[in-house]
Structure 1
Amino acid sequence: MNISTPAKQFNYDRAMLWGERLKILLNTDFISYGEISRILKNKGIFFNSIAKSDLVPLLSSCLLTPKEFIDLIERSFIRELGEKYSSCKFELASNGVEWKNEIRENFDDVVSGIKPEHGREFASEPSVKVDKSGDIVISYSLRVVDFSKDWIEQEIIYPSEIIINQSEDKNKLEIKEIKTSKDTGKINDKIIGALGRFYLSKNIIKNEKPISIVFDNFDNIQRIRFFLQLTNAKNDEFSFVGIDTFDIVRDQKAGKLPEEQRIKWMEGHVNSLQIKGTDLGKTFLLKEETYYQYYFLIKMITTYEFKFGANIGKCNIEFAFSGKSSRSDDFSNTTFDFSIKRISPSSEEGSKRKVKKTIVNKIQGIIDSALKNISLNS
């Protein structure tokens, strides 16, 4: 997938923004409180708050230099344009049922009525094709003009794909999606929902709702076990190296923490915690199941080594339950996805795309294997 770069219709190099004009940008979903806090600290301003409602007025009262503005915009684009991968499955009514031609012949009717939200439009309408491997591929792209249209006519194109194939055991339709922004995630949900309704009406699948990996499938212990199963890759082509980062959120309903010095300090003081380092699988929070019931593990960044022919290197993969709609600690209905944060060493574009595709396939296989080794609630 090729991701278009932002069209620079605004003169970034000569811009110095402040006041209301800057506040409009800072209050968008594209800019996080962490990015605002970082710029304030670079200016020598420290403030004991992580709320955008406190930080935005403070930074808006300052001048933002062209360099700071460009850095802020570029970081936002990088975050939004990162590809995230997730999957779900429909159980087939029978393994010999015809599902490819049905969607190809009726595709326009299936996706009719699916429209982007206000301020977004299709740069290319959803289309369907069969690729070389025989998979059904649904692709489209969204055009987003944002960052307050009156003064920054900022246009970005977000492409997306949904890939459909039949599982090896022939009993399921596997749906793999690529999201490049929150907006493409919403459109993907609508398309997958339409697929479910269509296939059920044709008696091709058993249930309209697909089987997905969601936060509520697990209890706290199962969820951490699932994450740790993702570290079991050990073969000549793709092998786990270590856990670099993990995020936990205190489960306030799990009761009081044990009276042990190494963990009781969190009681009443810590709601969430991000830990960075090397070989973090040996930390007691991940190693000892005694403590699993007291917190949610919601994100983990790991390093893997790969050797695909002449392509040898390492990659950093982020696994996470994402899509939380509020700032509370309620992760209900969030879905599991992964993204490639870094591939090293970098290589030629053609080779890099091939390596990236192989890594995605390897990770999806690891996820499937991890699920088989975990007993889920539903």
Structure 2
Amino acid sequence: MKQEHKDANKILPYGELLRGLANQGYLVKSDLKKFLRNRGIFFNTAEKEKLVPCVACLLLSPIEFDELREYQNTKEDNFKKNTSRLNWSSESNIFDAVKNIKFENIIPDEGYNFYLVKEPNIIFYPKEKDKVRIEYELERNDFNKSFYESTNRFRGEIEIEKISENEIKITKSYTSSESNFVGDSLIKITENYFKENNHVSRNVTLKKILFSDFDNEERIVFFYRLSSNMDSTYFTFKDIVNMEFRPDNDEKLPEEIEWMKNKSELKLKGKSIHDTFFIKDKKYHKNLQFWEMESSYSFKFEIYEGNCNVVFTFKDYLNKNEKAEFEINISNFSLVNGSEFSNRDKVMIKNKLLKLFEKNKDVVYTNFLKYQQEKNAIA
């Protein structure tokens, strides 16, 4: 998230400084419109290019400036989650295995413009000895940016949980490329520590969910089971709203989809995408490489009700190809009576929903592994 300028408590911005503040991405149209309405200024449009100049013309009171700052302090980038697994060969629980770990050389000394705000913090659960969480926070400084863009702060966490006698699951949650880098570094340090202390065999490697784990047909089935065929108490599937794919050039394309030949990236956005003939008909699936599907849902969870979109993706496929790692994130989110909830509450609720989707993904992937084993046994 955006971190406050170091002189925020000393400066009451106006003019161009205030324009720079109002232009920030964490101040959305509804925030600015509500802010202006409280000043008795009403617009029949919600476009930022109309609202920002008006805000920039105002002289703010300290209380009003604090109101805008509060938006900054509560708006977070979307969390993304991915998981990996590691064979466990120790009788120790996770609590005992990590309690003496030291995190060093997480970020190289040179070549990076971000740094950890403080040492990663290990959270132990009093009643769960086989589960820990490592939280971290970092800052990036962009000195060529304006007053309120110069410093960004990002959070992340690593959750390590023993899921069977001989396997642990590692869940990485991050909000930016920087926090993803730190998360990967922490996982590597932890993996090496486990091996050095004989909790994990030295010849064992981390198992991730990779694009190459699936053939073309299995991958689209995996996406469908996560989205339209999801079995959940809390979520109701509505529609597939986005799919990203390309033809597999190693397969001869059927005449009906020969127009896709040599296309490097195709996107379908809209409604009822799953009824498109080459997606609906399974005979084309072996010819297509899907790497992303976005689906919309309604939800009812605890006291909360609303709608959200979830992205299931091998997001780096175009760069990493077969080594692209699977992850999920919530792209759109709205609550019934949303004005009754603070921005901080909304971030908390969205993260709870993402954890529910992550659990469902784990079930779907576990079933897929069983299916693969059975298929290989028959072959």
Q: Same fold (TM over 0.5)?
A: yes
Match of 1:192 among 178, 187, 190: 187
Match of 2:104 among 98, 112, 126: 112
Asked if 1:355 is matched to 2:349, the reply is yes
Describe the SS at the equivalent of 2:217.
helix
State whether residues 97 and 199 of structure 2, in contact with CA within 8 Å, keep that contact through their aligned partners in structure 1: no
State whether residues 79 and 351 of structure 2, in contact with CA within 8 Å, keep that contact through their aligned partners in structure 1: no
1:22-41 maps to which residues of 2 (within 5 A)?
none
Aligned partners of 2:95, 2:113: CA distance in 1, in Å?
33
Partner of 1:160: 156
Match of 1:216 among 209, 212, 215: 212
Aligned partners of 1:306, 1:185: CA distance in 2, in Å?
28
Partner of 2:246: 249
State whether residues 222 and 376 of structure 1, in contact with CA within 8 Å, keep that contact through their aligned partners in structure 2: no
Aligned partners of 2:233, 2:160: CA distance in 1, in Å?
29
Asked if 1:281 is matched to 2:274, the reply is yes
Structure 1 unaligned runs (5+)? 16-63, 69-78
Aligned partners of 1:97, 1:171: CA distance in 2, in Å?
11
Aligned partners of 1:65, 1:352: CA distance in 2, in Å?
27
Partner of 1:368: 362
Q: Give the structure-1-normalised TM-score.
A: 0.71
Structure 2 unaligned runs (5+)? 18-48, 54-74
How high is the sequence identity, in percent, across the aligned residues?
24
Residue 230 of structure 1: how far off its partner (Å): 0.4
Partner of 1:271: 264
Distance 1:272 1:6, change over 3 A: farther
Describe the SS at the equivalent of 1:331.
helix
Partner of 1:302: 295
State whether residues 113 and 141 of structure 2, in contact with CA within 8 Å, keep that contact through their aligned partners in structure 1: yes
Residue 182 of structure 1: how far off its partner (Å): 0.7
State whether residues 7 and 156 of structure 1, in contact with CA within 8 Å, keep that contact through their aligned partners in structure 2: no
Residue 157 of structure 1: how far off its partner (Å): 0.7
Q: Deviations over 1:131-162 (max 9, x none)?
A: 46633111111111127369997110111111
Aligned partners of 2:250, 2:124: CA distance in 1, in Å?
48
- Bigger mean CA deviation after superposition, 191-200 or 274-283: 274-283
Partner of 1:129: 123
Match of 1:180 among 175, 178, 181: 175
Aligned partners of 1:121, 1:295: CA distance in 2, in Å?
41
State whether residues 123 and 142 of structure 1, in contact with CA within 8 Å, keep that contact through their aligned partners in structure 2: yes
Describe the SS at the equivalent of 1:254.
coil
Aligned partners of 1:65, 1:14: CA distance in 2, in Å?
15
Aligned partners of 1:114, 1:190: CA distance in 2, in Å?
6
Aligned residues: 309
Describe the SS at the equivalent of 1:195.
helix
State whether residues 13 and 67 of structure 1, in contact with CA within 8 Å, keep that contact through their aligned partners in structure 2: no
State whether residues 138 and 153 of structure 2, in contact with CA within 8 Å, keep that contact through their aligned partners in structure 1: yes
Partner of 1:338: 328
Partner of 2:80: 84
Partner of 2:60: none
State whether residues 12 and 66 of structure 1, in contact with CA within 8 Å, keep that contact through their aligned partners in structure 2: no
Aligned partners of 2:247, 2:76: CA distance in 1, in Å?
27
Aligned partners of 1:14, 1:353: CA distance in 2, in Å?
30
Q: Which amino acid aligns with 2:215?
A: D
Distance 1:13 1:131, change over 3 A: farther
Q: Deviations over 1:58-103 (max 9, x none)?
A: xxxxxx99969xxxxxxxxxx9932211111112115x43331231
State whether residues 76 and 347 of structure 2, in contact with CA within 8 Å, keep that contact through their aligned partners in structure 1: no
State whether residues 137 and 162 of structure 1, in contact with CA within 8 Å, keep that contact through their aligned partners in structure 2: yes
RMSD value over aligned CA atoms?
3.5
Q: Give the structure-2-normalised TM-score.
A: 0.71
Partner of 1:230: 226
Partner of 1:20: none
